Structure 1
């Protein structure tokens, strides 16, 4: 099991808790995609010189940060939305 699941307290002594390996994998994939988006927007924020565009990039960055902070393994609808809307490896 990945460190993300352990860090969020999803793995009990006997396994994955009420979630399947697929649930955990989809959750971790969604978090990975959000982390990549956050990193991308952070890079764009540093490089942007236009104040108005900088504010737009900052707003997008903060949206992804908040989305990742609120994401829960049992929010299958939000996970599906993230996986469909944010490209990832192999997407």
Structure 2
């Protein structure tokens, strides 16, 4: 695998992880304007990843575990790409 393509793809995956983390942190602030452009952008980018997992995985009490599951899957994808690039 081309190292530049692997680098770009892993960088994209890391950015998705950061976006999911920021979105999760924003959920702790109920007074935050949900109609702000940055929050809407985070929802637009991360919801297609989180929503399918949310439909399958039930909430653990009042906690939504789907962002954590998506982050774990993205980290596994990063490992696979890095190992493929190293060969």
TM-score above 0.5: no
More helix by share: 2
Q: TM-score, normalised by structure 2?
A: 0.41
Bigger RCO (CA 8 Å, 6+ sep): 2
